[in-house]
Structures are given as structure tokens and as C-alpha cells.
Structure 1
């Protein structure tokens, strides 16, 4: 009855007269078109189900360079094993730019040393201690535990964007006289290797570096860099982004020093 109604609607037969098992030329064309639409419908339903189960989707990450280099390879490898079809776009940059990415809607998840950001949940991921970074064999490394900020007074210092976390007033004169300020970690460490001066960095930044430079932890253990994870509220997070955020939270972060 439905086929007869369809034939009446299109104004032409679907089957050859007297041979209901054989389609007319028009019927064959309609069968092909209908098959395409059914396949498209099935793929659309599958895509929707994949998005809801975090089996597909797209997540934009904005993270600091040390986190990108030292933590994200393990995290993304683990995530990809469970969500192989989810596309990840990761950008590594400084915390100030990450704040701009969040405000402009360019990041679904961010890992940075930032204060609260409007419209995003903020959870502490880890903290690590600061230390002076110098070439191996530098005089500072000889008896570092017995030294103070005053012992850096005559040593060239290279400033970087993380130095503002150290609020010790005795460090301020060292920072104020720095004539070189470098934001990129790779360039910063290259200058340290070249003997341009010493710098101050958090512990994670030094993991995986060569033995030609040394990390000397500060005596004041209260001076730490905090790395926070920023995510949209749960009701505004896609399943894929929520799954990646869970993977990040579950990652055990072990600092070598």
C-alpha cells in the first residue's frame, strides 16, 4: 500500500507491469538515491553517538611550554589509546597568552599559572619548587646550600616571565639589574649554556635537560609555581573535552628532583 501511494505521489510506476520483483529504470534510480540517504542517516546517527561517548570530536588545548614538553606526551598517548578518533589541537605558549586564549574562546582546556578566569572552573593540577639554573661546574653549585641571594649579586642574571612568582624582597635587586629578559624556555637555557648568566625556573622545566646545566633548588620551599587546569563549567563541556580533562586529572605527576 505504501509503495502504491508513493507511485501515485511521483506519478510513475516503480515496478514493471506484471513483474513486481523487477524495478523500472526510474525505480532503480530512486532505490540508489534512497540508499544514499539511508547511509547518510546512519552515519549521522553514528557520529552523534560517537560525540556523546567521546569517541569523536575536537579539543583545543592551550598549555605552558614545560607542561607541553614534560607532561602532555604521556597524557595524550594515554588519551589517544582510549579515544583514537578525537582530534587534538595543542598550543604551547606563556600564561598571559593562555589567558587571552580562554577569554577569546580559543581553548577548551588550559594548563597555566594563572588566577581565576571568568567563565572557567579552576583546579590545581600540581605545584613545583623554584631553583637557580646555571651551567654545570658553576661556582654557585659548589656550596649552594650555604649561599644566599646576596651571593648572586655579582653574577649576571637572565630574567624570564616566571620570576614574578618569587616575592622574596632580597631577590628584587637581582631581578631589577637584569639586562636580559627571555620568555622562551629553549632560548633561555641556551643562553645559560652559553655562559650569558644564570636564571630562575620551576623544577618541571628542568626535567629531561642535558647534564651541562644544573638546577639548584631554593632554600625557601614555600616559593612554588602552581599550575592550574581551566575548563568550562560541566554543562558547557563537550564529552571529548570532559574525557581529556579526566585523563589529565588522573595523570600521576612525579618530579625528578
Structure 2
């Protein structure tokens, strides 16, 4: 009889649990069935794997074979997990993690096009900041990620769009009044008129006033909805991309200074360790 994976798994669990009874509980089998499987493995190998019938101490050969059993069962479990993920992606779910401006602007059209040809696929959309998008991809909690990056950052993923960063301010506030009274171009120095509500995008602006405000900032948020709520409440002004304008809403304004003009890129990423399933790959191409 050839050595089978179920023999190696039973042997591994018995060795790890230290008894037939405990192993039987883990495997969901009777102790006699587990004992028979072990006997078949030992008969195939031609030597005992345990020093005693209590199965709590391995022979030298048993220690060597245990290492192979662990390796074989781990590889099998990893492969079956990958197959399940692929099956889910084909007919079940595609998981997308994206920054809020993408969800408000790029995704609706892409979803509409994708659903025309794949109406059976479920789409799960998560609204996150860029660091959280990376984390979702790293831990296989999302198939596709879309994040914000500076144009100067090393290439990460595929660039699908770019837009300008700008100041989001409250209507009726100091920045709004300064803009109404000024005839010249807007400057990042306007941010000195109100407290800065910081977020990770602020660090992308190469302006001395923004750097100084960041050093003394005592209010920071990563969620776009929270940032906009703070601005509307008069807690200060913040920096967001032009792509967020559709979700800015009433009570606030947006201006993009040119000293310097600051671009952000939207980049689409996926895991470098795992291939996209067919449905996820189709959605990837739809976004491209």
C-alpha cells in the first residue's frame, strides 16, 4: 500500500497530541481508526514510529518522518486554501480595498461595467486609508487595493490616475474670506489662517508652512468622513485630493495651490505572493 496523505496527517496529529484519544478528537475519528491508520503507515515503512504503545515518544526514525509529515500536510493545506480562494474569486467574491476618493469617483463606473459581464460575482468594497489598504493586501484580506502615493515614491503597483492636492476649508472661515478678498493665486500659506487637521497626505506637500504646521499639529484623522466633519465644525482646515471634491459636500470649499502644485497618484496593487483569481483579474483589467 502506498503512503497516503491521511496516514501522514494522522501520524502528525498523534505525535503532536501525545495520545491516540486526543488525536482522535482532533481528527474527528475513533481511536481505533486512528490506530489502524498508524499501523498501515508503520507497515508501509517497515519500522515502528513510536517507542511505546502510549504514542508519547517517537523513535529516531519517527522524528525524521514527522518533519516530512509536517512539511507534506502544510503544503497540502496551503494549496487547498489557495484553491478555495480561487473558487471564491471565480464565482463568489472579489474584495476591493480603496481610499475614499476612489470609491466616490472611479469605482462606480468600473463596477457598472464589471456587473454587465459578471452579474453573479459579489463585490466587497472597503473604505480605508492607504496604509490600511496595504495591510489588507499583505494579510490576504483583499484581492485588489487602490491607494494614494506621491509621484516621487518608488513604483508600487500600477498607476491608474493622478490629481492635485488642495486645501479643504469651511465656508465662512478665515481661509474662505482670504480667498474672497485676494486677487492673486492661492498659496499653501493660507493654511496658517486656521488650525491644521492633519492626515497622511499633508506630508506630501513640499512647503515650509505645511511642514511647520505639522510639527505643531494636535489633531489628526485618517478617515475622510471624519476629516470633513471636523472642517465643517470649524476645527480647522485639512488637505485632500481633488478627487475627493464630489464627497466634500456643503459647508466646505476646495482650492488647489500651485506653490508648489502637488500631485498624488492612485495606484492599484495586489499581492506579489498570490495570483489573482479570474474574476479579480477581470475587475483589475476593468479598472485599468
**Alignment TM-score > 0.5, same fold:** yes
TM-score norm. by structure 1 comes to 0.67
Partner residue of 1:110? 145
The corresponding residue for 2:43 is none
Does residue 214 in structure 1 map to residue 253 in structure 2?
yes
Counterpart residue number, 1:98: 133
Counterpart in 2 of 1:131?
166
Contact 1:141 1:216 in 2 (8 A): no
Report SS of the residue matched to 2:234. coil
Q: What value does the CA root-mean-square deviation take over the aligned residues?
A: 2.8
Q: How far 1:233 moved relative to its partner? A: 6.2
Q: Aligned match of 2:178 in 140, 144, 154?
A: 140
Which protein has the bigger strand share? 1
The residue number in structure 2 matching 1:88 is 123
- Conservation of the 8 A alpha-carbon contact between 1:122 and 1:228: yes
Q: Classify the secondary structure of the residue corresponding to 2:157.
A: strand
Structure 2: gaps (5+ residues):
1-85
- Bigger relative contact order, structure 1 or 2 (CA pairs below 8 A, ≥6 apart): 1
Deviations, residues 77-122 of structure 1 (Å, cap 9, x unaligned): 22111100112222111111111111112221110125669xxx71
Q: CA deviation at 1:172?
A: 0.6
User: Contact 1:55–1:84 (CA<8 Å) still a contact in 2?
Assistant: no
TM-score (norm 2): 0.61
Conserved? CA contact 1:145–1:219, under 8 Å: no
Residues 170 and 197 (structure 1), Cα distance of their counterparts in 2 relative to 1, 3 Å cut: closer
The separation in 2 between residues aligned to 1:101 and 1:234, in whole angstroms, is 14
In structure 2, the CA distance between the partners of 1:219 and 1:116, relative to structure 1 (3 Å rule), is closer
**In structure 2, the residue corresponding to 1:113 is in which secondary structure?**
strand
SS in 2 for 1:162: helix
Q: SS at 1:129's partner residue?
A: strand
Partner of 2:242: 203
Query: What SS does the corresponding residue of 1:84 show, helix, strand or coil?
Result: coil
Distance 2:159 2:102 in 1: 14
> What is the CA distance between 1:204 and its match in structure 2?
0.7
How many equivalent pairs are there?
A: 196
Q: Return 5+ residue gaps in structure 1 as ranges.
A: 1-50, 250-257
